[in-house]
Amino acid sequence: MAKATKKQALGRGLSALLKDPENDIQSASDKNADKVVGNIVELDLHTIEVNPFQPRSNFNDEALKELATSIKELGVIQPITVRKMDFNKYQLVSGERRFRASKLIGLATIPAYIRIANDQESLEMALVENIQRQDLDPIEIALSYQRLIDEIQLTQEKLSDRVGKKRSTITNYLRLLRLDPIIQTGIRDGFTTMGHGRALVNIEKKEDQITLYERIVGEGLSVRETEKAVKTYHEGPNKKIATTSDSTPSLLKNGAKELTERLSTKVAVQASAHGKGKMVIPFATQEEFNRIKKLILGA
């Protein structure tokens, strides 16, 4: 208990140091930088901004509330990581769930590790740390890998060393990005798995991917059954996915068709054998999203 009190006091002391304009640390060579960089500091939540390079885009509200309850009872066990932007201004590198949960329960401060990094280093740190530490869905992981390759100019081999994953594992994730966006959404939302996606990506035509995907959701096909269907597809003379007439109720099919005509974009209806379902309306640009939104809202 005494150790925890001493640690908290130290964090508050460093926080006071950072709020002193005469100790505005901008680089690792500045005076008192060694006292702050790499140490745990209690930072005011309002001085921290969200990292625009954060690969996670989905935050489960229920899971966030559970984390907030845990933090309320036990405190923030693992400090977040931030980088210094300006005097008393910081940007998240990793730990956005802890940051959001702390704000949710009205905390004023949060323990943080401080780093000094440029934008490229911050992007790499955010992506690598989140891939390793956060429970990202397969598509988010794939997008993070792709960003490291595109924006940090890493080869798959170097990326493998950086994140501690086999090159074949990275390749399997990246291949998921060749799936139709509707299927990618289905994987993110749990309608199907990465295993299903790995099988579906072997079908080049997106419309055929969608046809088999609808069977997976409607009939509850296993990964093995999906792999078999893909094999049959490639061995068939006309390369056509077999469909099942009752995989999606006719009422839903008709409704999807009406919405497709009304919105002038392909509307996909996903329904499981247990009646659970989802409607997916894809869009390619912000302008298209705004157009669809206006039609739905009648604005």
Whether 85 and 47 have beta carbons less than 8 Å apart is answered as no
Using a CB cutoff of 8 Å and minimum separation of 24, what contacts does 202-205 make? 202/230, 202/234, 203/230, 203/233, 203/241
Evaluate the CA torsion angle 119, 287, 96, 174 in order and state its sign.
negative
Burial (0-12, 13-18, 19+ Cβ within 10 Å), 74: exposed
Q: What is the DSSP letter of 94?
A: E
Identity of the amino acid at 249: P
Q: Which residues are catalytic?
A: 96
Whether 39 and 113 have beta carbons less than 8 Å apart is answered as yes
Identity of the amino acid at 10: L
Separation of alpha carbons 96 and 48, rounded Å: 11
